[in-house]
């Protein structure tokens, strides 16, 4: 793998403000004689470093890597491309805050701390500018068209590129398609329903396994899982290292495990341990590191160091920059509190397990400036036909977003994957065949095609 950096304008509207160094990685095509060009990949997030992800998954893309130079990149603000940071934890301790006014003040203070810790790149983070960076990368690589494979957030990024640079869009595949239009509250509600649908599918699978802790009745299984989350919020389990398993941490663990059907057996075992043995270890392991470890030393470690909280900081920064509804306006706390109370019933109806946490994401960007409205206005951009992959059981990017985005792009073919998990290229040989044929041979079917679930 070859590594490099490319300088791009920090502010495309005012190039004199300076540049951002974007980190690139390239694995040259193995069949140089039949090389097509470069294939740019984005592995999702936002906040996932593309260079490291390419190194980790190079063998998986070997078929495409015969005729394409595989290109990974760290988007601006991510990884080794001038990483942003919030200088510590990014979640306000809601239980320790007495009222709505104090919570909103804490969120404003957090947003200000992110500004100070991130430096001059933070105001110029966002998909619109990353898309422009991709076109600079295309030209630096010497490609007439951008050939692209994007997963999850990478699908949003690909769609924005096609809208900004339709004449430079080559063969483009978007897997796990993000929404381009939904306001924040609607997006959170649709995500809640998608997570609950994926959990229901998991419980149906569990009911057919030997020794499922919830038995064979899927209706009562849903009730028992919800009861577990409620019980853990009232009386958390304590791990051997003193870590608490609350209901909300258990919900995070379940949400993480639903991203891939390969993780379902581990989730079944973790739930059984919590229910039968009051052992939180399995769910705590699936929940992952919710808050980065203290990183004071990392912050001062010098050039080339990626702050420990970079992935979370970039996730928030990009999502905020992409949404025009989120603003810096200091809304009256009583009004904000009432808006949340008005939405609470609908979120709980969608999912008692995932609804409360998703509802609080409505405040994720409080205190930050409003984002761009460009993405929401994308409509039939004139790009060539592209391939969109949607998975019916996807907990993160529900299938309806695939159909919605296809309509907005106006030139897309859909592969309807009937399986489970988030994104399908790695999970379905049928999907992989469609993708590889299109990227390697330019073959693209018409209409919507279907791929079955695979065991």
Task: Give how far the C-alpha of residue 395 lies from the chain's centroid of Cα atoms, to the nearest Å.
Answer: 11
Of the residues 74, 175, 322, 394, only one is catalytic, namely 394
Q: What distance lies between CA 75 and its chain's CA centroid?
A: 14
Tokens at residue 277, please?
Answer: 């043995």
* DSSP letter, residue 94: G
Select from 128, 132, 145 the least CA-distant residue to 39: 145
Contact 111, 351 (CB under 8 A): no
Q: Based on the residue annotation, tell me whether 422 is a catalytic residue of this protein.
A: yes
Long-range contacts of 355-360 (CB under 8 A, 24+ apart): 355/192, 356/248, 356/251, 357/248, 357/251, 357/252, 358/188, 358/189, 358/191, 358/192, 358/195, 359/188, 360/94
Q: Point out the catalytic residue in the list 81, 118, 131, 152.
A: 152
- For CA atoms 116, 294, 257, 250, the dihedral sign is negative
CA distance 318 to 321: 5
The question of whether 152 is a catalytic residue gets the answer yes
* Residue 208 among the catalytic residues: no
| Sign of torsion over alpha carbons 379, 384, 385, 386 | negative
Please report how the helices 184-207 and 218-234 are oriented relative to each other, as an axis angle in degrees rounded to 10: 120
- Residue 24: what are its φ and ψ, rounded to 5°? -120, 155
Q: At 25, is the secondary structure helix, strand, or coil?
A: strand
CB burial readout 64-93, b (16+ within 10 A) else e: bbebbbbbbbbbbbbbbbbbbbbbbebebe
Q: Residue 281 burial by CB count (10 A; 0-12/13-18/19+): exposed, middle or buried?
A: middle
For residue 268, the number of C-alpha atoms closer than 13 Å in the C-beta half-sphere is 21
**Catalytic machinery residues:** 152, 394, 422
């Amino acid at each position: 793998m070859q590594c490099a950096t490319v300088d791009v304008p920090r502010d495309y509207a005012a190039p004199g403000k300076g540049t951002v160094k974007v980190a690139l990685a390239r694995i040259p095509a193995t069949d140089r004689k039949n090389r097509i060009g470069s294939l740019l990949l984005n592995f999702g997030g936002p906040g996932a470093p593309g260079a490291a992800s390419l190194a980790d998954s190079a063998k998986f893309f070997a078929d495409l890597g015969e005729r394409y130079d595989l290109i990974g990149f760290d988007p601006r603000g991510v990884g080794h491309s001038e990483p942003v940071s919030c200088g510590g934890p990014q979640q306000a301790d809601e239980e320790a805050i007495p009222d709505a006014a104090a919570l909103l003040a804490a969120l404003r203070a957090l947003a200000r701390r992110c500004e100070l810790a991130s430096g001059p790149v933070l105001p110029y983070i966002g998909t619109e500018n990353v898309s422009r960076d991709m076109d600079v990368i295309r030209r630096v690589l010497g490609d007439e068209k951008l050939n692209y494979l994007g997963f999850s957030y990478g699908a949003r990024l690909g769609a924005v590129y096609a809208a900004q640079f339709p004449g430079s869009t080559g063969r483009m595949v978007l897997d796990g398609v993000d929404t381009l239009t939904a306001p924040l509250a609607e997006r959170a509600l649709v995500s809640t329903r998608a997570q609950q649908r994926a959990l229901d599918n998991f419980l149906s699978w569990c009911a057919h396994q030997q020794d499922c802790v919830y038995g064979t009745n899927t209706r009562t299984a849903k009730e028992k899982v919800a009861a577990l989350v409620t019980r853990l919020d009232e009386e958390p389990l304590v791990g051997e290292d003193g870590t608490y398993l609350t209901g909300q941490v258990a919900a995070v663990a379940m949400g993480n495990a639903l991203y891939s059907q390969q993780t379902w057996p581990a989730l079944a075992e973790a739930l059984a341990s919590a229910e039968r043995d009051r052992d939180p270890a399995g769910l705590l392991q699936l929940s992952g590191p919710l808050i980065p470890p203290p990183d004071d030393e990392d912050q001062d470690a010098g050039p080339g160091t990626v702050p420990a909280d970079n992935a979370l900081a970039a996730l928030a920064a990009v999502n905020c920059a992409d949404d025009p509804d989120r603003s810096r306006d200091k809304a009256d706390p009583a009004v904000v509190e009432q808006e949340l109370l008005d939405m609470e019933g609908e979120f709980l109806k969608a999912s008692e397990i995932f609804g409360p946490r998703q509802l609080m994401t409505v405040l994720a960007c409080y205190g930050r400036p409003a984002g761009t409205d460009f993405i929401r206005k994308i409509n039939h951009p004139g790009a060539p036909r592209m391939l969109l992959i949607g998975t019916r059981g996807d907990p993160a990017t529900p299938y309806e977003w695939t159909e919605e985005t296809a309509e907005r792009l106006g030139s897309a073919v859909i592969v309807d994957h009937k399986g489970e998990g988030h994104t399908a290229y790695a999970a379905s040989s049928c999907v992989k065949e469609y993708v590889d044929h299109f990227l390697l041979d330019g073959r693209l079917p018409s209409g919507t095609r279907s791929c079955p679930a695979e065991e």
